[in-house]
Chains A and B, each alone.
Chain A
């Protein structure tokens, strides 16, 4: 029987790892992800999990340990946050290129400077070009469910890619929530044991990761490119099967909220979707025809899904909780990817960028109200008025007073 629990995104992933019977995990302390390792350590000590926890001497080692374990045929995990994610950077491409489907939990955190513990998606987005598959969960339940789905997709013999279960630091990793821990039998039905076609086996010797001649590289890279496309098909099938077995149905790529008659939508990923939804309910009362699109996957980027969905709207406000200084459009990574996804689609909407929720700040209702008003002004103007808006820093300059008035007006609907 599934168990109703109260815990965090991190205990939820520990539950998933326990149910997945992981063999090896590699730890190193950094907030906020650390708590998952503390949780796993406790379960190992208490005999609840049979897993070797190797205490890495840094994140580079953590990922290398998991890499080695995976090549030996073990189901291996690790995780990190912030500068720790950056410290391991060398290892990401070899793990993905070596087709080792380890799983990392990244509870995101700002990079230094400044020394800040708060959530920001930047560090995890930095490794987007290395061939890992990942997406952000918005709460504890989705973290657990993603962990299981990601193992299943990543370890599929047609895929064999490492995965990141990403979550907003603190918002998802540390806030206590209700969730359901599935039954072992359900999980065993959904997730077969990890049995790679090739592993380090003295009876079937293979060599892994040899040097090559220049012309031998592009075919391997082409293969890594092709497999990313194949991931999209698996996501559809696996999300569907997950729903059947566990009774929780997720949109494979993009969750839509109040989009049926919407002119404008917020597009974002992760925990800020929770506040976004409630802001939308107030905005609707105040007459804004606004909805939300929440991305469940970042790699592969759900461009096909967005091509089908976004032309329904007139304005899309992409909310970036990350920095990409100097990026096209002046906002963050999501803006660039979203615009590129639909740039050639007839009837595409106006796509504008907002940067908000940096440094672990919540994006407040009032900030969503302001963004909605700016989107409305874009809609009325029929063109992009201002390329990138860092909310509270350079809100539509010529129209600050209107934006403020609108903010107060919608706020009244909360009373």
Chain B
């Protein structure tokens, strides 16, 4: 494995941008910010695979796109498979001497739907087969591009177009989300030696995780929480703040799994009550105390499962 060149502070991050202005994402779009940081960290020798979702549609309107590196569309279903094909094509053409290229960084930038729902089969198979591809799941916790519908990552209690609250279903979304890190990096895909969660609220950490994932020979996985002002209903200037609050309340955990060893990237001193997070977003506005309690219990259980040693918020 090559060693990744780490970035120590935001001031030390490369100036050069490979995800440029000139796209139609919403103001304050978390996934767009993630794209910018990821492209900055990966640099010139990079090819992006962009399955259908906001980061395809809102980025490439009018037949142009904001990338200064090669980018290709993939279907929402098949980012992992298209990435696999690109990877093996480069390997074989380089081996046969048909091209002089250096093997590129190949990054699939898939939404939660394109990673863990309709795109799960292709993502899983890419990781199983061990292709040298970094699979980034930019998680805005919904099918956003189609107008905000529930996905497996939509939190319990969130309102979406397909999960409106009403007298019969007061909590709106009823299920709890999937755990992509467990699915991809929990031992079920032995070729994945590096996986991490990250957040746009912690840019240096995110960029370094991108570099670690790319330095890894073979598949790597990043699960990046990306607040979405439109889907979560909050003002566009609060994206980063909400990303931080997610970590501080335990609605998001920041860790790496390297060769099966867990390493915490951010350790909150004490978790804040989940309610502080919920009240920042319109999607949770309908929740009653019993639903909030259910979410808090879920957070508390996640702390246990993940083995995080942190004081929980006092019970009410």
Interface on A for B, CB 8 Å cutoff? 21, 23-24, 26, 50-52, 54-58, 60-61, 64-74, 76, 90-91, 94, 193, 200-203, 205-213, 216
The stretch that binds A, out of B1-9, B27-35, B119-127, B166-174, is B119-127
Query: Whole-angstrom distance from the CB of B106 to the nearest CB of chain A?
Result: 9
Report if B252 contacts A (CB, 8 A).
Answer: no
A24-B89, A68-B86 as given contacts; A56 in contact with B81, CB under 8 Å: yes
Give CA–CA (A203, B44) in the complex, Å.
8
The reply to whether A57 and B121 form a contact with Cβ atoms under 8 Å apart is yes
Q: Which residue of B is nearest A209, CB measured?
A: B73
How far apart are A215's CB and chain B's nearest CB, in angstroms? 11
| Chain A residue contacts of B86, Cβ below 8 A | 68-69, 71-72, 200
Within 8 Å by CB of B101, from A50, A61, A68, A202, lies A202
User: Is B49's CB under 8 angstroms from A68's CB?
Assistant: yes
Q: Is the CB of A57 within 8 A of B122?
A: yes
Q: Is the CB of A205 within 8 A of B89?
A: no
Per-residue A-contact encoding for B82-100, CB less than 8 Å = 1, 0 else: 1111111111110110110
State whether A69 and B81 are in contact (beta carbons under 8 Å apart), knowing that A207-B60, A211-B60 are contacts in the complex.
Answer: no
Nearest neighbor of B76 in chain A, beta-carbon distance: A90
* Contact sample, A vs B, 11 pairs, CB 8 Å cutoff: A57-B81, A64-B122, A68-B83, A73-B89, A73-B99, A205-B69, A207-B64, A207-B67, A208-B73, A213-B63, A216-B62
What A residues does B62 contact at CB under 8 A?
Answer: 211-213, 216
Chain A residues contacting B96 (CB-CB under 8 Å) are 21, 23, 50
Q: Chain B, interface size: which category?
A: 35 or more
**Do the beta carbons of B98 and A64 come within 8 Å of each other?**
no
Instruction: Point out the residues of chain B lying under 8 angstroms from A201, CB to CB.
Output: 70, 101
Given contacts A208-B71, A209-B73, contact A61 B129 (CB under 8 A): no
B98 in contact with A26 (CB, 8 Å): no
User: Across the interface, do A209 and B85 meet the contact criterion of CB distance under 8 Å?
Assistant: no
**Is there contact, CB below 8 Å, between B93 and A54?**
no
- When A91-B78, A94-B75, A211-B56 are in contact, do A65 and B85 touch as well, CB less than 8 Å? yes
Chain B residues within 8 Å of A202, by CB: 44-47, 69-70, 101, 104
Please tell me which one of the listed residues B56, B104, B122 contacts residue A61 in the complex, with CB atoms under 8 A apart. B122
Chain A residues positioned under 8 Å from B128 (CB to CB): 57
B68 within 8 A of A: yes
CA distance A193 to B60 in the complex (A): 32
> Given A73-B98, A207-B70, 8 more contacts at CB 8 Å?
A24-B89, A52-B88, A54-B129, A67-B82, A68-B85, A202-B45, A207-B65, A208-B73
Asked if A54 and B77 sit within 8 Å, CB to CB, the answer is no
Tell whether A207 pairs with B75 under 8 Å between CB atoms, given A23-B93, A68-B83, A68-B89.
Answer: no
- Contacting pair A91 B72 (CB below 8 A): no
Q: Please give, as numbers and ranges, the residues of chain A lying within 8 Å of B67 by CB-CB distance.
A: 205, 207
Bound: A73/B91 CA distance, A: 12
* Chain B residue contacts of A90, Cβ below 8 A: 75, 77-78
Query: Are B122 and A200 in touch, CB under 8 angstroms?
Result: no
Residue of B nearest to A68 (CB): B85
Which of A61, A67, A90 has the largest count of B CB atoms less than 10 A from its CB? A61
Whether A51 and B92, one on each chain, are in contact in the complex, defined by CB atoms closer than 8 angstroms, is yes
Contact with A along B198-209 (1 / 0, CB 8 A): 000000000000
CB distance from B224 to the nearest CB of A (A): 22
B89/A209 in contact, CB under 8 A: no
Most chain B beta-carbon neighbours within 10 Å: one of A50, A60, A208: A208
Chain A residue at minimal CB-CB distance from B72: A208
Residues of B within 8 A of A57 (CB): 81, 121-122, 124-125, 128
Say whether A24 contacts B92, CB under 8 Å: yes
